[in-house]
Amino acid sequence: MMLLKLLTWPYVRKHKLRTCLTIAGIALGVVIFVGMRTANDSVLYGFQQTVDRIAGKAQLQVTSSEAGFPEEILEKVQSAVEVDVAVPVIEATAATGLAGQGNLLILGVDMTGDRSLREYDLEEGEQSVIDDPLVFLAQPDSIMVSRDFAVRNGLTTGGKLALDTMDGPKQFTVRGVMKPGGLASAFGGNLAIMDIYATQKVFGRGRMFDRIDISLKLEVSVERGKAALEKILGPGLQVDPPSSRGKQFESISRLFSIGASLNSLFALMIGLFIIYNTFSIAVAQRRSEIGILRSLGASRGQIRGLFVLESAVLGLIGSLVGVVFGLLLARGMAGYLSNFLGEVYGVAQKTESVAADPRLLLFAVLTGILTSIVAAWIPARDASQVDPVKALHKGGYEMFSERENRLRRMLALAFGAAALALLFSGGTAGPRLYGGYLCVLAAAVLLTPSLVRRVVALLRPAMKWLLPVEGSLAADSLVQSPRRTSATVAAVMLAVALVVGLGGVANASYSSIHDWMTAALNPDLFVGSSESLTDRSFRFPASMGEEIRRMEGVEDVQIVRTTRVLYDGAPVMLVATSLESLARRIHPKVVAGDPSTMYRLAGEGKGVIVADNLALLHRLKLGDMLELPTPTGMLRLPVIGITIDYSDQQGAFLLDRTLVVRYWKDDTANLFRVYLQKGVTPAEGKRRILERFGGQRRLFVMTNEQVRTYIMKVTDQWFGLTYMQIFVAVLVAVLGIVNSLTVSITDRRRELGVLQAVGALRRQVRQAIWMEAAGIGLVSIILGLALGGVILFYYLGIIREDLAGLRLEYQYPFNIALLLIPTMLGAALVSSIAPAESAVRASLVEALEYE
């Protein structure tokens, strides 16, 4: 510790900028990790909090995933001897239409029995509503709101609140205002209570409930109650504690969560190279100091310990800074992410506050420190091996020894061979795929010094031709300092490769989504119950589809019911429609199965067509027997076709709607796919439908173009988050260039001084440094573009096999590569401005005296 104070502190004070850059290298990785994960956790926490508050004293909940079930189930549940109270619930969101208020979570309950489970703590004088639920029930326009919501919108008892219902906009009367806390604070306070039968009507739910909340008799344990109810209800309905809903939401948003973690760890890895670079240079610069210490009796262990401790301290500072800024980022992102996840997955949740998990923060700090120590380990080892006799000799230490070079090349070769061996031994999936990916990264990083030397040698004539003196000096500086140069190049190369890899995934995704939209989304109009295609709160009666079909100018209508059902423990999208009609209209890419018969057979209820992503994620193949839990029992169907279908990130089943009506007792629809007759424009068709139904029903008519735009907007939002992470990775890499150039200028102070002494103008010195930065940028781009092409292959494999089950085609993202060249060169040049200025403004006299 004393050594740290005596030796490190003065060095750090002397190199403030470099120290800051090093800290920033770690901090940025931690920021993105903490920010994204905390924002994600906050959304999950917000969801769970809403679930808990709404659940009240419920110990168990009966659901049929999201699909709902017929009312009769309630009687079965209530008849169980283990059950004390069982009440039905419908949960739905509705747009308030009030400026800045967003959605209102409406809880439809049976007021006569619900108070046994939930506390409706009303304001003074309004208790009669609850004391006599018939008052509430007798008036179907009754609604209760939280005080928070009432105050924000100037509502009082007896006041009117307009809500969109399936029968068009309606005025509701506020019959009670709930005191803050508990139930009233669920969903950020945007909560309203309605009678369950009124809710069924408002949301077009027919005679269905979403779930039954249960409290058990005192002597019955949750496990016993669950087992008893499962026995009574059969396998088609799920009986779980309220907390399991959080897990389901977590599994739905898993892809986002994993993506955020992977990218932040990648950013941290780039930070690792910055630290490695800084410590390598510090060891080189403090060589004589180390030599003196060694000659004074310091052991190798003490020297190594000094640098490791130094790195741990920097890592700690960087991590703490990262945690603070990460929490600020999470605060900014949580709301956005909440809306985004609601949009993508159609799950109602509201993030009220940032939920900072102390374990996550501790993990981030420890990871930051560990990364810093790992990065500094090799330089620290080098420091401990400094020969005290040679320590005062100048030069040579910037170079790698031939032995080190050979070792690196051999290791790189070994990793390369291992990657190839893994690939050709079935390494396109599972641990071998990840192993291959890591081997490729290791080989690339180890080969960087050799590749840098070769690429710079190739670039030198061009640089020299461009600016004879400046170009040569820049190229030579890069070659002469492989330690410094290659660590920076490795960091920037990884950033470029990350951009190419993720950009390639984005390109392939856009391209696949576009193909799918062309093949499968070809109706002229989509009539939905909500502005968002993923919100399934409101439902239409199927008869409305028939009414549309009979309208003038309409050629065909497909009645669609989508819902999430539980398959293999995960909530999976079920898409039900008339498959006979669908087969005539769409031509999706078929991965397996006979396109000429599979739709007919599925239309006859003899099988199910599965989206390719679902098949890949759940290892399903043609002929496999699927078991789907339904309120009337298990539905067993063979897989008769696998097609490319991007209806949902988790995958989708395509069933004939008659099966949903039969097994789920659900005759409602969320969407009508409308094909117009020739000669009828989409605008005209839309106008006619709105004219016919606009006054009576809540409905949204979107043209094909609007739906495509909507899907592309959601895709853009999805990749927008990825691009933000890419931006941070590039920023970390740019910090690496600034760091490297700052070090380079310190090292070459004398050389730059001589250059000016013999007549170089400031402009020329600047140009030499700019050329060096451009050289680093160019070499990194060349290597990064090549590495990116390889890691894209692995990314597509990981996405296909583990993350999303998407079979994306490999296409090198040349557009992104072309964009990257000027961007990274520009970034490199911008990052060289400050170091170049510091070089030209340094004292010439001091530079020439420098020794």
Partner 1 sequence: MIELRAVSKRFDGKRSVTALDGVDLSIAKGEMVSIVGPSGSGKSTLLNLIGGLDHPSSGDLLIDGASLVHVSDDELTRVRRDKIGFIFQFFNLLPTLSCLENVSLPLHLRGWNRKQINERARELLDLVQLGKRLEHLPEELSGGERQRVAIARALSVYPPILLADEPTGNLDSQTGAEILRLIRDLQTRLNATILIVTHDMGVAESCRRTIRLRDGRIVEDIRREDIRREDIRR
Residue 466 CB, shortest distance to partner 1, in Å, is 13
Residue 10 CB, shortest distance to partner 1, in Å, is 16
Residue 447, classed as helix, strand or coil, is: helix
Long-range contacts of 746-750 (CB under 8 A, 24+ apart): 746/15, 746/285, 747/281, 747/285, 747/398, 747/481, 747/484, 748/477, 749/842, 749/846, 749/847, 749/850, 750/847, 750/848, 750/850, 750/851
Segment lying near partner 1 (by CB under 8 A), choices 270-278, 556-564, 645-653, 758-766: 758-766
Residue 395 CB, shortest distance to partner 1, in Å, is 7
Residue 813 CB, shortest distance to partner 1, in Å, is 37
Helix locations, 79-117, DSSP H: 111-114
Residue 384 CB, shortest distance to partner 1, in Å, is 28
Of 85 and 755, nearer to partner 1 (C-beta) is 755
Query: Which of 756, 780, 831, 832: binder of partner 1 (CB under 8 A)?
Result: 756
Structure tokens at 28: 């940025």
Of 229 and 473, nearer to partner 1 (C-beta) is 473
Of 667 and 747, nearer to partner 1 (C-beta) is 747
Of 552 and 851, nearer to partner 1 (C-beta) is 851
Segment lying near partner 1 (by CB under 8 A), choices 301-309, 470-478, 598-606, 786-794: 470-478
Of 374 and 844, nearer to partner 1 (C-beta) is 844
SS (H, E, C) 290-353: HHHHHHCCCCHHHHHHHHHHHHHHHHHHHHHHHHHHHHHHHHHHHHHHHHHHHHHHCCCCCCCC
755 binds partner 1 (CB under 8 A): yes
Burial of 359 (0-12, 13-18, 19+ CB in 10 A): exposed
260 binds partner 1 (CB under 8 A): no
Segment lying near partner 1 (by CB under 8 A), choices 26-34, 569-577, 608-616, 750-758: 750-758
469 binds partner 1 (CB under 8 A): yes
Query: Which of 155, 193, 364, 473: binder of partner 1 (CB under 8 A)?
Result: 473
Query: Which of 154, 158, 301, 395: binder of partner 1 (CB under 8 A)?
Result: 395
523: closest CA among 557, 499, 553, 550?
557
DSSP 8-state symbol, 66: B
207 binds partner 1 (CB under 8 A): no
703 binds partner 1 (CB under 8 A): no
Of 30 and 456, nearer to partner 1 (C-beta) is 456
Segment lying near partner 1 (by CB under 8 A), choices 407-415, 487-495, 595-603, 745-753: 745-753
Of 339 and 472, nearer to partner 1 (C-beta) is 472
The H or E element containing residue 806 is none
The region, left, alpha or beta by phi > 0 then psi within -120 to 50, assigned to residue 97 is left
Residue 26 CB, shortest distance to partner 1, in Å, is 33
838 binds partner 1 (CB under 8 A): no
The H or E element containing residue 692 is helix 682-693
191 binds partner 1 (CB under 8 A): no
User: How many angstroms separate the CA atoms of 52 and 183, rounded?
Assistant: 9
843 binds partner 1 (CB under 8 A): yes
Of 383 and 755, nearer to partner 1 (C-beta) is 755
Site string for partner 1, 570-589 (x = CB under 8 A): --------------------
> ∠ at Cα 114 (108, 118), nearest 5°?
95
661 binds partner 1 (CB under 8 A): no
Gap between the terminal Cα atoms of the chain: 29
Residue 847 CB, shortest distance to partner 1, in Å, is 9
Residue 762 CB, shortest distance to partner 1, in Å, is 6
Segment lying near partner 1 (by CB under 8 A), choices 540-548, 759-767, 787-795, 806-814: 759-767
Residue 394 CB, shortest distance to partner 1, in Å, is 10
Q: Tell me which residues in 449-468 interact with partner 1 (CB under 8 A).
A: 468
Structure tokens at 466: 């461009």
Q: Look at strands 168-178 and 69-70 and give their pairing.
A: unpaired
User: How many angstroms separate the CA atoms of 379 and 397, rounded?
Assistant: 12
What is the DSSP track for 779-799?
HHHHHHHHHHHHHHHHHHHHI
Residue pair 378/304 in contact (Cβ under 8 Å)? The answer is: no
Segment lying near partner 1 (by CB under 8 A), choices 472-480, 692-700, 728-736, 792-800: 472-480
Segment lying near partner 1 (by CB under 8 A), choices 19-27, 385-393, 729-737, 762-770: 762-770
Which amino acid belongs to residue 107? Answer: L
- Tally: H helices and E strands in the chain: 30, 23
750 binds partner 1 (CB under 8 A): yes
Of 297 and 395, nearer to partner 1 (C-beta) is 395
Measured between alpha carbons, how far is residue 612 from residues 156, 356, 605 in Å? Answer: 52, 37, 20
Residue 761 CB, shortest distance to partner 1, in Å, is 5
Query: Which of 142, 477, 578, 740: binder of partner 1 (CB under 8 A)?
Result: 477
Work out the number of other CB atoms within 10 angstroms of the CB of residue 377: 16
Number of residues engaging partner 1 in binding (CB under 8 A): 29
Helix orientation angle between 287-295 and 254-285, rounded to the nearest 10 degrees: 70
Measured between alpha carbons, how far is residue 721 from residues 108, 533, 552, 792, 812 in Å? Answer: 35, 21, 44, 18, 21
Of 397 and 710, nearer to partner 1 (C-beta) is 397
Of 165 and 746, nearer to partner 1 (C-beta) is 746
Residue 801 CB, shortest distance to partner 1, in Å, is 49
User: How many angstroms separate the CA atoms of 2 and 234, rounded?
Assistant: 70
3 binds partner 1 (CB under 8 A): no
Query: Which of 168, 762, 810, 830: binder of partner 1 (CB under 8 A)?
Result: 762
User: How many angstroms separate the CA atoms of 497 and 515, rounded?
Assistant: 26
761 binds partner 1 (CB under 8 A): yes
402 binds partner 1 (CB under 8 A): no
Measured in residues, the chain has a length of 851
393 binds partner 1 (CB under 8 A): no
Residue 752 CB, shortest distance to partner 1, in Å, is 10
Residue pair 776/452 in contact (Cβ under 8 Å)? The answer is: no
Query: Which of 586, 760, 791, 806: binder of partner 1 (CB under 8 A)?
Result: 760
User: How many angstroms separate the CA atoms of 416 and 642, rounded?
Assistant: 36
Of 474 and 702, nearer to partner 1 (C-beta) is 474
User: How many angstroms separate the CA atoms of 529 and 445, rounded?
Assistant: 53
Query: Which of 168, 235, 763, 814: binder of partner 1 (CB under 8 A)?
Result: 763
Residue 768 CB, shortest distance to partner 1, in Å, is 10
User: How many angstroms separate the CA atoms of 712 and 521, rounded?
Assistant: 13
Query: Which of 410, 458, 462, 757: binder of partner 1 (CB under 8 A)?
Result: 757
Residue 473 CB, shortest distance to partner 1, in Å, is 7
User: How many angstroms separate the CA atoms of 458 and 140, rounded?
Assistant: 81
Of 78 and 764, nearer to partner 1 (C-beta) is 764
DSSP 8-state symbol, 8: I
Query: Which of 472, 512, 715, 823: binder of partner 1 (CB under 8 A)?
Result: 472
Residues that bind partner 1 (CB under 8 A): 395, 468-469, 472-473, 476-477, 479-480, 750-751, 753-764, 840, 843-845, 848, 851
